Amino acid sequence: MKHLGALFIGMFFGIVLIKAEVISWFRTQEMFWFQGFYMYGVIGSAISVGAISILITHVTQL
């Protein structure tokens, strides 16, 4: 019962990935054939959000 929140967050994250077509084989194939920018945008956004989150975490610990 104490991990129920993590379970719901994981389910929500999975649903978001499915709806955004990030787990689609077509999107991955399209990325590797350089035919679409969609996955590069998703990966770039994830890197940006992660970097900003690490920066904020680091600054608030000082």
The rounded distance, in Å, linking the Cα atoms of 28 and 32 is 6
Residue 34 Ramachandran class (φ > 0 left, ψ -120 to 50 alpha, else beta): left
DSSP conformational letter for 37: S
Range of the domain at 57: 4-61
Question: What is residue 39's predicted lDDT score, i.e. its pLDDT?
Answer: 92
Instruction: Specify the pLDDT at position 35.
Output: 92
Chain segment 3-61, per-residue pLDDT in tens:
999 999 999 999 999 999 898 889 989 999 999 899 999 999 999 999 999 999 998 88
Q: Looking at the 3D structure of the chain, how many domains does it have?
A: 1
pTM: predicted TM-score of the whole model, two decimal places: 0.71
Nearest to 17 by CA among 43, 37, 51, 50: 43
**So what's the pLDDT on residue 61?**
81
Helix-strand-coil split of the chain, %, nearest 5: 75, 0, 25
